[in-house]
Structure formats: C-alpha cells, structure tokens
Amino acid sequence: MPAAAADLDLVALICSKLCHDLAGSIGAVSNGAELMAEETDPQMRDEAVRLIAQSANDAARRLAFFRLALGASGDLMDAMPGSELQRVAIDYFAGGRVAFEPPSLGVLPGDLPKPLGKALLLGLLGMAGALPRGGRLRLIAETDSWRILAEPTAPNATAKLPEALRSGLDSAGPMPTEPNAALARHARDLAALAGFGARLSQSSDTTAELLFQRAL
C-alpha cells in the first residue's frame, strides 16, 4: 500500500475510535433532551437534567483527553506540562472501571516533550484494555524512561495485553486495520519523534507493563 494511502487509513481508524468514544455520551445528552421535552413530571425532568449534565461532562472530559493526545496546538516539538497530562488523564478515567494513579509525588515532573506526552496518553488508553475487569494504571517517571503499569484489582483478575496494542507497537508488524491498533501505532511513532522506543512486557498475571525508553 502506498505510504499516503496507509496514512489516510491510519487517520480514518483513529477518527473511528474518537467517534466510538464520544457516541455514547452525545447520544445520552440527546436522550435526556428528548425526555425533558416529553415529560411533565418534575421528578422525571430533574432526572433528565441530571442525565444531560452527567453525559455532557463525560463528553467534555473525553474531548479534553483526545485534544491533548491527538490535537494540534502550537509546534509539535514544544513542551507539554506534566500537570496538564496528569489532569486530563485523571479526568478521563474518573468514575470508570479503570482508575489512573499518578506518580507517588502527586504531580508529574515539570514539562516533557509534547510527542512523548501524547504517546503516554495514548499508551494509557491502550493499557486500559489490559484490564477488562477493572483495575488501576500507574504512570512511573524514571531518569530515561516512563513506565505504564496495568494492575487488576478485582479478586482473581489478570492483566492481559490486548493483541491490538501488541500489533500496533510492533515495528515489524503490518499496518493496523482496527482503531485500537492504529492508536498504538501512532503512540509508537510519536514516542520515536521524542527519541523513545516502546516495549511491552508481562512479568506475571497481575501486572502488564508498557515501557517508553530513551533510545541510546
């Protein structure tokens, strides 16, 4: 496949993921508005307002995450504030089965290269798929690397790396053909722009890891 066509396919797959992630929240806003228009019962109208507010908030936090992870603002080689990365990651995963746990110091250290920050956000999204029964994602900053750990919290649950994440990060793999693999490929390419490689590992049933390591 020509490079230009492959790039267009990658963009289309990423857009599909965006639409999928937003469709539920936007649809719930629409359902809430219809309920308000039809209901005269004050209690039901209050419930509709609650549904609209919650769904609009869900859509807003997802948009904020994808805007930072995928959007174009300023020069790609500018810095990304670690505090901004942390904020959108916490908001995106808030209230779901998978929780995001920032570094133990509470705030990501300073600024980091924007391509790497985008890759970390997409890495968090991909690693959430390793926790089908829920759990937590931990982001650990080290001297020349960043680690994302996926840890299940449900009894007898295991972490299982998604095949889409494996294939998307595989430098020798074919072009992605589904949205999650496309996001993983984009994360790999962004990390490379910042001088980092990406590697998956699974040392046990209870922990899976995505490592972004500075290239030598």
Q: What is the pLDDT of residues 160-215, one digit of tens each?
A: 899 999 999 988 778 888 999 999 999 999 999 999 999 999 866 688 999 999 98
Task: Look at residue 179 in the predicted model and tell me its pLDDT.
Answer: 93
Tell me which residue range forms the domain holding 124: 3-214
Number of neighbours of residue 38 by Cβ within 10 angstroms = 10
Task: Grade residue 110 by pLDDT with cuts at 50, 70 and 90.
Answer: confident
94 phi, psi to nearest 5 deg: -60, 130
- Is the pLDDT confidence value at 1 over 60? no
Mean pLDDT in the chain? 87
- Is the pLDDT confidence value at 24 over 80? yes
Residue 203, domain CATH: 3.30.565.10
C-alpha dist (Å) from residue 116 to 26, 81, 123, 213: 30, 11, 10, 11
Over residues 89-93, mean pLDDT:
93
Q: Which residues pair with 98 in a beta bridge?
A: 135
- Is the pLDDT confidence value at 107 over 70? no
Name the residue with higher pLDDT: 122 or 55: 122
Task: Grade residue 55 by pLDDT with cuts at 50, 70 and 90.
Answer: confident
Look at the chain and report how many structural domains it folds into: 1
Task: Look at residue 108 in the predicted model and tell me its pLDDT.
Answer: 65
Which of 1-10, 19-28, 90-99: highest mean pLDDT?
90-99
Cα separation, 214 vs 199, whole angstroms: 11
Cα separation, 139 vs 128, whole angstroms: 12
Task: Look at residue 4 in the predicted model and tell me its pLDDT.
Answer: 57
Over residues 98-112, mean pLDDT:
74
Name the residue with higher pLDDT: 36 or 68: 68
Q: Which residues pair with 148 in a beta bridge?
A: 139, 210
In this prediction, what percent of the chain has a pLDDT beyond 90? 48
Cα separation, 118 vs 70, whole angstroms: 7
Task: Look at residue 109 in the predicted model and tell me its pLDDT.
Answer: 64
Lowest mean pLDDT among 112-126, 147-161, 183-197: 147-161
